[in-house]
A and B are shown apart, each in its own frame.
Chain A
Amino acid sequence: MNAVIGKERNAAVRQNRKEKWKKRFLGSAEKRGWIGSFVVYALLIVISFIFVYPVLYMISRSLMSRSDLLDSSAMWIPSSITLHNYESAILTMDYWNSLLKNLYLAVVPTVAQVLICSAVGYGFARYNFPGKKIWMGVLILAFLLPSQTTALPNYLIFQNLRMIDGTIKPFLITSILGQGFKSTLCILIFYNFHKQTPQSLIEAAEIDGAGHIKAYFRIALPLATAAIVVVTLFSFVWYWNETYLVRNYLGYGTTRATGLTTLMLELNAFEDSYASAYTTWASSVTSSDRINDAIRMAGTVLAIAPLMIFYFVLQKQFVESVDRAGITGE
């Protein structure tokens, strides 16, 4: 009798254990099983690799010496790390000089853009005024149409004003008037965000005697910190990366010797500046001085390095802000 009970109990225990393992592998309603976790992490790691691969490639290539480039066994890890490529790239791009010019050209319009777009977004979100629908329509239209159609007439405006002289003027004027690079998107982000700010909060402040300006600066703006972080980062990135409009506003003939420049423009012209730079450095150009992939990659790394630093510094705020920024356009 006892034996039978024992057998039954054993069977029950075994069954129980089986269930437990099955649960661990396949998961249950409450918890993902091992297989599920495996799939999720495998996907994440594979996709992460796809995303990071070009960056890793860039960095590893840029540290390779000439012999490593030709050696197929040194596909990934350089046999000896050399900073020679960076020296060449720095000379080619006139790096420190160009970097300063680029920072000036990116930071100033970014600040103007954030300030103006926030105010405009607030104006659309908070107030009702006649013609608002029409202006919102224009806003959407400006967002959708490719800016290439207006780029040439805008260029002519600045040319008539004699402002295409390699200075910051066209960038500053457009960003102050809410027409900077992708300003429309910034305005839409701020619009969505300010829309979420409870109207009652602002009205309460106004009842307490705060004026419209004060209500904006004291209440709406501090509540929009998340949007400010997102827009600042994006604007900086856009100003840093844009080449077509930058070339337009700086003027076709402007070089880094005569006016402002950006690292992306320098990267575009890398090949030519390397060739001309080398003929002036060395009286005889030997084949070993010719440009190679490692030098090009070093130039690319240098061009995006400031963005990476900026991103890593701001990333915590950025990732948190994204959660709250409501850039979902609802």
Chain B
Amino acid sequence: MSKKQRNPHDKRRLTKRMVREWGWGYLFVAPWIVGVSIFFLRSMVQSLQFAFNRVELSNGVILHPLENGIFENFVKVFTTDVNFPMILANFGIGLVLQLPVIISFSLIIALLLNSKIRCRGLFRLIFFLPVIIATGPVMNQLSAQGVSSVPMVSQNALLGVLQGLPEFIYEPINNLFSSLIMILWNSGIQILIFLAGLQKVPRAMYEAAKIDGASAWETFWKITLPSVKSLILLNSIYTVVTLATGGSNEIIELIYTATYTATQGYSYAMAMSWIYTAVVAVILIIVFLLLKEKSDRKVVYEQKRVVMKGV
């Protein structure tokens, strides 16, 4: 094929070759495109339709327009279920509180695992364990037993101070401490991602810093942290997504039961899930805006990365 390219009709041949490339590209991606069109794009549209219409089930789905304004289902979610706004707010605040804990914790573990230690394999085995067993039903069983909090830590002193706070702030903080283990168990994949990133920082960079007389503290802030900064954003997004879609989530349970409850039904459940999606999207956007690198620094960072790749 490469020999054929070198004839006078080079340009036309090239486009022909490109078309063939396009074909192969689409061939590899084809199953996914079919799948995503049916099970994601079409389903998204349908669930929107459900949320903005009244659904009747008789030998298939029939949609009726709403009588009391287009947002009737959404209004219904907030007016009929008194607990929903509260649960939603708790979920949001809980997520925002858990996020920095998970991120800093997994970074610390990744740093420890990346340093020169003995029994590295054993420690890794232990730290990746949550990836395997941190799951809805198991977590429920464990937290029913009260294993979800660290036994030795006396929380009383701290909680006494917090008791003065208003309910909606106190609740999530209390949850944070009473289920600390469960939260930390959510950091398995994040540790993996940080570790993989840390291992890509070239040794030469640390050695150069050492020769220049940098202390370990300075090295951490000047080399290690900037190198994993893009991973902090990635990990934060990943954390939000997994916590929001995880099976042990109260809101998902609510949506599920609403779907099969006669008085609530499909429209109600879909309105609920779109409200939920909006909340998650807002949190994702905030996380993204907070953690994304500023444009001028990004240039420097990119340059550094090019240098690093060169090394």
Contact = CB atoms under 8 A, between A and B. Distances in A.
A250 interface: no
A116 interface: yes
A144 B46 CA distance: 18
B124 A319 contact: yes
A318 B125 CA distance: 10
Contact of A300 (B108, B142, B280): B142
Given A55-B133, A178-B32, A319-B121, A152 B126 contact: no
Given A128-B25, A148-B245, A148-B276, A54 B137 contact: no
A328 B247 contact: no
A38 interface: no
Nearest to B105: A47
A244 B247 contact: yes
A300 B25 contact: no
Interface residues of A, number: 92
A264 B137 contact: yes
Contacts of A240: 135
B195 interface: yes
Contacts of B181: 50, 53-54
A296 B141 contact: yes
A281 interface: no
Residue of A149, A207, A318 with highest tally of chain B CB at under 10 A: A149
Contact of B26 (A129, A241, A308): A129
Interface in A201-234: 206-207, 212, 216, 234
B40 A138 contact: yes
Contacts of A47: 109, 112, 127, 184
Contact of A315 (B1, B40, B125, B281): B125
Chain B contact residues: over half helix, strand or loop, or mixed?
Answer: helix
Contact of A326 (B44, B125, B196, B273): B196
A96 interface: no
B262 interface: no
Interface string B97-123: 000000000001100100111000101
B247 A149 contact: no
Nearest to A325: B196
A81 interface: no
Contact of B273 (A130, A149, A329): A149
Contacts of B210: 29
A302 B129 CA distance: 16
Contact of A153 (B42, B132, B196, B245): B42
A268 B230 CA distance: 38
B136 A323 contact: no
A149 B47 contact: yes
A149 B34 CA distance: 19
B137 A328 contact: no
Interface in B149-208: 150-151, 180-181, 184-185, 192-193, 195-197, 199-200
Chain A contact residues: over half helix, strand or loop, or mixed?
Answer: helix
A187 interface: yes
A179 interface: yes
A38 to B, nearest CB: 12
A120 B247 contact: no
A235 to B, nearest CB: 12
Interface in B1-57: 1-2, 21-22, 24-29, 31-36, 38-44, 46-47, 50
Given A40-B117, A304-B132, A322-B192, A51 B126 contact: yes
**B-side interface size class:** 35 or more
A19 to B, nearest CB: 18
B290 interface: no
B75 to A, nearest CB: 19
A64 interface: no
A127 B25 contact: yes
Contacts of A143: 241
Contact of B230 (A41, A146, A297, A330): A330
A152 B36 contact: no
B273 A54 contact: no
A138 B47 CA distance: 17
A114 to B, nearest CB: 13
A303 B241 contact: no
Nearest to B41: A138
A307 B32 CA distance: 28
Contact of A146 (B35, B195, B277): B277
A329 B234 contact: yes
A163 interface: no
A21 interface: no
B252 to A, nearest CB: 6
Contacts of A40: 112, 115, 117
10 contacts: A44-B123, A127-B21, A144-B241, A146-B273, A149-B274, A174-B39, A176-B31, A241-B136, A299-B141, A308-B132
Smallest CB-CB A-B distances: 10 pairs: A177-B35, A123-B28, A127-B25, A178-B32, A241-B135, A153-B43, A129-B25, A150-B43, A123-B29, A129-B22
